[in-house]
């Protein structure tokens, strides 16, 4: 048997995660462009009932999130090379997304004040600044046992955050 060369490496599937206001969509879009990958915002996959709850200032419970996480996982599983913006606040949420196959997470780490300030500057989004404390209450910060998670200080300007992520992804994948 002859081998023509090394097997091609699968393109990355990156989940840009964090609380509302951490920059998931902004950073995710720029990261997708930098890596020449597609982009999907998991917010667009929420059923209308979930959006209505959040727009009314009511946090989702796990029953509300379950079908949404399944839909997000299906999108992730169907794509080879994607940046997906998704809160993935709990480890159990990340575990569901891991069901899509090989995936890497980028945790955009910001503090409460930064997230609230950012959310206040996007008045047309269903997740308003009053909802941000509930996001922090739900958040289970990734720990060292989740070796597929890269943590990035997202309080810096977006170009710096994207450059840091590209560097981390390149290092993990052995890219030059």
The reported pLDDT for the residue numbered 24 is 94
Please report how many Cα atoms fall inside a 13 Å half-sphere around the Cα of residue 48, on the Cβ side: 0
Residue 21 falls within a domain, yes or no? yes
55 near 99, Cβ under 8 Å?
no
- Tell me which residue has tokens 């955009």: 108
Counting every residue, how long is the chain? 176
For residue 17, give the nearest of 142, 111, 164 by alpha carbon. 142
Q: Which long-range contacts (CB under 8 A, 24 or more apart) does 166-174 make?
A: 166/31, 166/34, 166/35, 168/106, 169/12, 169/14, 169/35, 169/104, 172/104, 173/9, 173/12
- Pick the range with the lowest mean pLDDT from 3-7, 91-95, 142-146: 3-7
Mean of pLDDT values over 66-89:
92
Q: The whole model's pTM is what?
A: 0.86
144 band by pLDDT with thresholds 50, 70 and 90: very high
**C-alpha span between 167 and 114 (Å, rounded):** 24
Range of the domain at 159: 13-171
Q: How many domains does the chain have?
A: 1
The reported pLDDT for the residue numbered 1 is 43
**C-alpha span between 62 and 47 (Å, rounded):** 14
Residue 6 falls within a domain, yes or no? no
Residue 8 falls within a domain, yes or no? no
Helix, strand or coil, per DSSP, at residue 164: helix
Residue 2 falls within a domain, yes or no? no
Mean of pLDDT values over 56-83:
88
For the stretch 69-80, pLDDT in tens is 999 999 999 878
Residue 136 falls within a domain, yes or no? yes
Rounded mean pLDDT of the chain? 88
Residue 166 falls within a domain, yes or no? yes
For the stretch 9-43, pLDDT in tens is 678 999 999 998 899 999 999 999 999 999 999 98
For residue 50, give the nearest of 126, 129, 102 by alpha carbon. 126
Q: Please name every residue paired with 108 in a beta bridge, in sequence order, or none if there are none.
A: 152
167 band by pLDDT with thresholds 50, 70 and 90: very high
Residue 56 falls within a domain, yes or no? yes
Q: Which residues contact 48 (CB under 8 A, 6 or more apart)?
A: none
Residue 106 falls within a domain, yes or no? yes
pLDDT of 5 > 50? The answer is: no
pLDDT of 157 > 50? The answer is: yes
| Residue 77, domain CATH | 3.40.50.300
């Amino acid at each position: 048997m002859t081998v023509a060369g090394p097997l091609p490496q699968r393109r990355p599937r990156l989940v840009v995660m964090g609380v509302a206001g951490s920059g998931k969509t902004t950073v995710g879009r720029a990261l997708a462009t930098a890596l020449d990958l597609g982009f999907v915002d998991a917010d667009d996959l929420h059923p209308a009932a979930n959006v209505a709850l959040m727009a009314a200032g009511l946090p989702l419970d796990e029953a509300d999130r379950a079908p949404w996480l399944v839909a997000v996982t299906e999108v992730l599983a169907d794509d080879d090379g994607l940046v997906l913006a998704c809160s993935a606040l709990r480890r159990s949420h990340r575990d569901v997304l891991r069901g899509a196959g090989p995936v890497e997470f980028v945790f955009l780490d910001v503090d409460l004040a930064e997230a609230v300030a950012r959310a206040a500057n996007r008045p047309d989004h269903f997740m308003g600044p009053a909802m941000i404390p509930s996001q922090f209450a739900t958040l289970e910060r990734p720990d060292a046992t989740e070796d597929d998670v890269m943590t990035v200080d997202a309080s810096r300007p977006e170009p710096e955050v994207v450059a840091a992520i590209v560097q981390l992804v390149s290092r993990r994948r052995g890219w030059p």
